[in-house]
C-alpha cells in the first residue's frame, strides 16, 4: 500500500490577512477598485485612489486597514474611500506595533463608528517600550 494521496486542502480564503500582520513589499493591489483601475459598479470611472493603475505603493511597514477591513471603501459596498487609509486598504505603521487596546484592533471607536481616536482607525498603535520603574 502506498499512501501518496495528499488529502489536505490548501484553501486560500480571500482577505484573510490578519490584523496586525505586517505585509511585505511596497506595491499592492488597489483595494478600492480591486486592482481594476475603475470603480466598482461603474464602467468608466477611473479609480481616484490608484488613478487607474490598479496598484498603490506604500513605503515602510504597512498593515491592513482595520477600519475598512482592507476593502478601501467605507462604508462597505460604496465607492467612498475610507478616510483612514484613503482607499488603499492599507496603512503605514511604525514598528514595533501592537493591537490597539482601545478598539481591540477593529479601528472603530467603541460606541460609534468613527475611527478610533487612539489608533486613528488603524487598529494598530506603536508599541510602548517597557518602562523601568
Ligand atoms: Zn484603484
Ligand atoms: Zn481603510
Ligand atoms: Zn484603536
Number of H helices, E strands in the chain: 0, 6
Give the closest ligand to the alpha carbon of residue 45: 1
pLDDT computed for residue 93 by the predictor: 93
4 Cα to the center of ligand 3, angstroms: 48
91 Cα to the center of ligand 3, angstroms: 13
Question: Residue 87, Cβ neighbours under 10 Å: how many?
Answer: 27
The single-letter DSSP state of residue 7 is -
Give the closest ligand to the alpha carbon of residue 48: 1
Whole-Å CA distances, 81 to 11, 31, 43, 74? 30, 9, 18, 6
pLDDT computed for residue 9 by the predictor: 44
Domain span at 26: 1-94
Query: Of 82, 88, 128, whose CA–CA distance to 108 is shortest?
Result: 82
| Max CA pair span of the chain | 65
Q: State the pLDDT confidence band at 133, using cuts at 50, 70 and 90.
A: low
Give the closest ligand to the alpha carbon of residue 72: 2
Cell matching residue 23: 505585509
62 Cα to the center of ligand 1, angstroms: 17
Question: Residue 33, Cβ neighbours under 10 Å: how many?
Answer: 25
Residue 1 scores a pLDDT above 70? no
38 within domain boundaries: yes
pLDDT computed for residue 12 by the predictor: 40
Each residue's pLDDT tens digit, 33-84 = 999 999 999 999 999 999 999 999 998 899 999 999 999 999 999 999 999 9
90 within domain boundaries: yes
Q: Determine the Cα–Cα distance for residues 127 and 91; give it in Å rounded to an integer.
A: 16
34 Cα to the center of ligand 3, angstroms: 26
Tell me if 93 sits within 8 A of 74, measured CB to CB: no
Q: Determine the Cα–Cα distance for residues 56 and 61; give it in Å rounded to an integer.
A: 14
- State if pTM tops 0.85: no
Question: How many distinct structural domains can be found in the chain?
Answer: 1
40 within domain boundaries: yes
Give the closest ligand to the alpha carbon of residue 33: 1
131 Cα to the center of ligand 2, angstroms: 32
131 within domain boundaries: no
Give the closest ligand to the alpha carbon of residue 62: 2
Amino acid at each position: 500500500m502506498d499512501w501518496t494521496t495528499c488529502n489536505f486542502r490548501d484553501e486560500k480564503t480571500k482577505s484573510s490577512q490578519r490584523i496586525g500582520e505586517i505585509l511585505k513589499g511596497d506595491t499592492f493591489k488597489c483595494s478600492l477598485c480591486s486592482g481594476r483601475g475603475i470603480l466598482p459598479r461603474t464602467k468608466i470611472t477611473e479609480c481616484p485612489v490608484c488613478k487607474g493603475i490598479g496598484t498603490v505603493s506604500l513605503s515602510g511597514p504597512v498593515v491592513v486597514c482595520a477600519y475598512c477591513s482592507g476593502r478601501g471603501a467605507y462604508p462597505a459596498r460604496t465607492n467612498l474611500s475610507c478616510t483612514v487609509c484613503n482607499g488603499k486598504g492599507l496603512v503605514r505603521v511604525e514598528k514595533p506595533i501592537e493591537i490597539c487596546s482601545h478598539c481591540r484592533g477593529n479601528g472603530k471607536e467603541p460606541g460609534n463608528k468613527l475611527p478610533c481616536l487612539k489608533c486613528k482607525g488603524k487598529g494598530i498603535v506603536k508599541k510602548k517600550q517597557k518602562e523601568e520603574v
